[in-house]
């Protein structure tokens, strides 16, 4: 979801930071702190880097 929000932040005038994210499980809803959102963002960045490396190998 964070990846989609980042894309919308770049392309939509009505979507932008700061983002509010929530994790919902059997115990209820947990609103992520700014620090937790940053941690998720770091994982998303690593995932995107790995994706780009795989895509580059396909077209190499």
Is residue 22's pLDDT more than 80?
yes
Q: Is 41 helix (H, G, I), strand (E, B) or coil?
A: helix
- pTM (predicted TM-score): 0.65
- In the structure, what pLDDT confidence band is assigned to residue 7 with cuts at 50, 70 and 90? confident
What tokens were used for 28?
Answer: 């209820």
Write the pLDDT tens digit of every residue in 24-53: 999 999 999 989 988 988 998 898 899 999
Give how many domains the chain has, as a whole number.
1
What per-residue confidence (pLDDT) applies to 36?
92
CA dist 44 and 51 (Å) reads 10
pLDDT at residue number 27:
94
Residue 50's domain comprises 2-58
């Amino acid at each position: 979801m964070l990846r989609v929000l980042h894309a919308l932040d770049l392309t939509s005038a009505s979507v932008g930071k700061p983002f509010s994210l929530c994790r919902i499980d059997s115990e209820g809803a947990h609103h992520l702190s700014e620090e937790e959102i940053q941690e998720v963002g770091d994982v998303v960045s690593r995932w995107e880097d790995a994706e780009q490396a795989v895509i580059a190998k396909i077209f190499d």
